[in-house]
């Protein structure tokens, strides 16, 4: 295994980590053309620059193609069971808040079997980075529909079309008051790297949905708005503090008409000052929720950081109670504890 930068004898790292330090010795086994390669590449690019020693990273995954991810990063990793990665990650972070804990999951792993744990990890605001590779299909088991697949989707298990109404993971995250919510696209490498970095730097739960193309079982799921020729006109990059403008010619925008979002053409009396300014730091998630629901073709598909707020994290609150207890009652003494309560002597 390769070295991980220079360490002084005291173990404090003078961090000069490089991408190569994070590449594992395992051969990647995703299908050629899989969107996962891009996400892996951008992650390997961003990890060295986070200022965190390599040994402090832990990647936790569940089951699915996404969940092979930990094997391809040369850090501590835990390939867990289907849907349960957030529980393992919560235990890791609560036990050792010093670690940088990541969960890599998919639309089936996180929203189907893992829906419950997904919700609670977010609700608790555990400081972990939860990256959901959404390919709108079950890839590993070869092509069944997932909780994010479109209504009517024809797959191996739904030859007559899916009768499930899908859900939007961003909405689930926001409903649970996620303190950092972002979305990226596997092929938009610069934006993806930026979002991963911001997620890592946010203290608290950082949820990132990545539209990921499964070229074998659901090829082109997002191409309507991710292809180069359409991307600028059909997506909008949310930037905190900036007006919501999009389009190849930067000539379209979003504003609130009463309680609803509306797409408007700039010019003809509509100027930039009429548009919504994105506020990722808004204390409540309602507008973010509305933005998250925007979908092609009626709206531009939003990407970027929807929300980024700060509140006390679960592991800090837990640790605070332990420290406070030690302060108030003194460090526990086993002898005293065993002899507590009503005792008596037998002679």
Partner 1 sequence: MATVEIEEKEKQVVELENVTIRFAGDSGDGMQLTGSQFTNTSAIFGNDISTLPDFPAEIRAPAGSIPGVSGFQINLSSRDIRTPGDEPNVLVAMNPAALKVNLPDMEKGGIIVVNSDSFSELNLKKAGYERNPLEDGSLAGYRVIAIPLSDLNANALKSLNLGKKEAERCKNFFALGMMYWLYDRPVEPTLKWIREKFQKKPQIVAANSLAVTAGYNYADTTELFTTHYRVRKAALAPGKYRNITGNEATALGFIAASQVAHRPLFYASYPITPASDILHELSRHKNFGVKTFQAEDEIAAIGAAIGAAFTGQLALTGTSGPGVALKSEAIGLAVMTELPVVIANIQRGGPSTGLPTKTEQSDLLQAMFGRNGECPVAIVAPASPADCFRMAFEAFRIATQFMTPVFYLSDGYLGNGSEPWKIPAVNDLPKIDVKFATNPEGFHPYSRDEATLARPWAVPGTPGLEHRIGGLEKQHITGNVSYNPDNHDYMVRLRAEKIARVASFIPEVEVYGNPEGKVLVVGWGGTYGAITSAVESLQKQGGSVSSIHLRYLNPFPMNLGKILSRFEKVLVPELNLGQLRWLLRARYLVDAVGFNKVKGLPFKISELVQEIQGLL
Name the site residues for partner 1 (rule: CB under 8 A).
1, 4, 7, 11, 24, 26, 53-61, 70-71, 74-81, 84, 86-96, 98-99, 116-117, 119-120, 318-319, 321-322, 324-326, 328-332, 334-335, 337-347
Q: How far is the CB of 247 from partner 1 (least distance, A)?
A: 43
Nearer to partner 1, 4 or 235 (CB): 4
Which residues are paired to 86 by β-bridges?
Answer: none
d(CA 321, CA 327): 10
Closest to partner 1 by CB, 25 vs 257, is: 25
In the complex, least distance from residue 53 CB atom to partner 1, rounded to whole angstroms: 7
Q: In this structure, is the dihedral angle defined by the CA atoms of residues 96, 97, 101 and 105, taken in order, positive or negative?
A: positive
DSSP reduced 3-state for 336 = helix
* Cis amide bond preceding 199, omega within 30: no
Q: What are the φ/ψ torsions at residue 245 (nearest 5 degrees)? A: -110, 145
User: What's the closest the beta carbon of residue 320 comes to partner 1, in angstroms?
Assistant: 10
The contacts of residue 40 (CB under 8 Å, 6+ apart) are 28, 69, 72, 73
Residue 336 to residue 340: CA distance in whole angstroms: 6
Between 249 and 336, whose beta carbon lies closer to partner 1?
Answer: 336
Is the sign of the CA dihedral 227, 229, 234, 235 positive or negative?
positive
Residue number, 274 or 324, with CB nearest to partner 1: 324
Query: Shortest Cβ distance from residue 133 to partner 1 (Å)?
Result: 17
Q: Which is nearer to partner 1, 93 or 231 (CB)?
A: 93
Residue 210 main-chain phi, psi, to 5 deg: -115, 120
Nearer of residues 103 and 254 to partner 1, judged by Cβ: 103
Angle made by CA atoms 184, 186, 188, in degrees to the nearest 5: 75
Distance of closest approach, residue 328 Cβ to partner 1, in angstroms: 8
Question: What angle is formed at CA 138 by the lines to CA 169 and CA 65, rounded to 5 degrees?
Answer: 90
Least CB distance to partner 1 at residue 58 (A) = 5
**Are residues 210 and 183 in contact, defined by beta-carbon separation less than 8 angstroms?**
yes
Torsion of CA 57, 61, 64, 65, to 10 degrees: 0
Across the strands, what pairs with 105? 132
- When the beta carbons of 89 and 221 are compared against partner 1, the nearer one is 89
The least CB distance from residue 95 to partner 1, in Å, is: 4
> What is the nearest approach in angstroms of partner 1 to the Cβ of residue 3?
8
Angle at 288 between CA 316 and CA 183, to 5 degrees: 80
Q: In the complex with partner 1, which residue's Cβ is closer, 54 or 136?
A: 54
Q: First vs last Cα of the chain: how many Å apart?
A: 64
Q: What span, in angstroms and rounded, lies between the C-alpha atoms of 145 and 167?
A: 12
Burial of 70 (0-12, 13-18, 19+ CB in 10 A): buried
CB of 195 to partner 1, least distance (A): 25
């Amino acid at each position: 295994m390769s070295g991980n930068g220079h360490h002084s004898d005291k173990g404090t790292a003078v961090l000069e980590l490089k991408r190569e330090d994070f590449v594992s010795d395992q051969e990647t086994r995703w299908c050629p053309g899989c969107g996962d390669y891009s996400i892996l590449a951008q992650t390997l690019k961003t990890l060295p620059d986070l200022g965190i020693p390599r040994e402090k990273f832990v990647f936790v995954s569940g089951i699915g193609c996404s969940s092979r991810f930990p094997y391809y990063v040369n850090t501590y990793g835990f390939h867990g069971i289907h849907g349960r990665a957030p529980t393992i990650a919560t235990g890791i972070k609560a036990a050792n808040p010093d670690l940088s804990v990541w969960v890599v999951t998919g639309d089936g792993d996180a929203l189907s079997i893992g829906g419950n744990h997904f919700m609670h990890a977010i609700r608790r605001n555990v400081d972990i980075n939860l990256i959901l590779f959404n390919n709108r299909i079950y890839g590993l088991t070869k092509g069944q529909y997932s909780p994010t697949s479109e209504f009517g989707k024809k797959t191996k298990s739904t030859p007559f079309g899916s009768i499930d109404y899908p859900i939007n993971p961003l909405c689930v995250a926001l409903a649970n008051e996620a303190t950092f919510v972002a979305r990226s696209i596997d092929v938009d490498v610069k934006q993806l790297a930026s979002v991963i970095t911001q997620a890592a730097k946010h203290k608290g739960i950082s949820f990132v949905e990545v539209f990921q193309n499964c070229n074998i079982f659901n090829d082109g799921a997002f191409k309507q708005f991710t292809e180069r020729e359409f991307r600028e006109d059909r997506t909008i990059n949310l930037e905190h503090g900036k007006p919501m403008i999009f389009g190849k010619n930067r000539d379209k925008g979003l504003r609130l008409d009463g309680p609803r979002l509306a797409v408007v053409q700039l010019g003809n009396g509509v100027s930039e000052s009429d548009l919504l300014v994105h506020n990722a730091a808004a204390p409540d998630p309602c507008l973010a929720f509305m933005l998250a629901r925007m979908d092609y073709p009626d709206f531009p598909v939003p990407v970027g950081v929807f929300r980024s707020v700060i509140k006390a994290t679960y592991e800090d609150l837990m640790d605070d109670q332990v420290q406070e207890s030690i302060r108030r009652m003194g460090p526990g003494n086993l002898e005293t504890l065993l002899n507590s309560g009503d005792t008596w002597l037998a002679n």
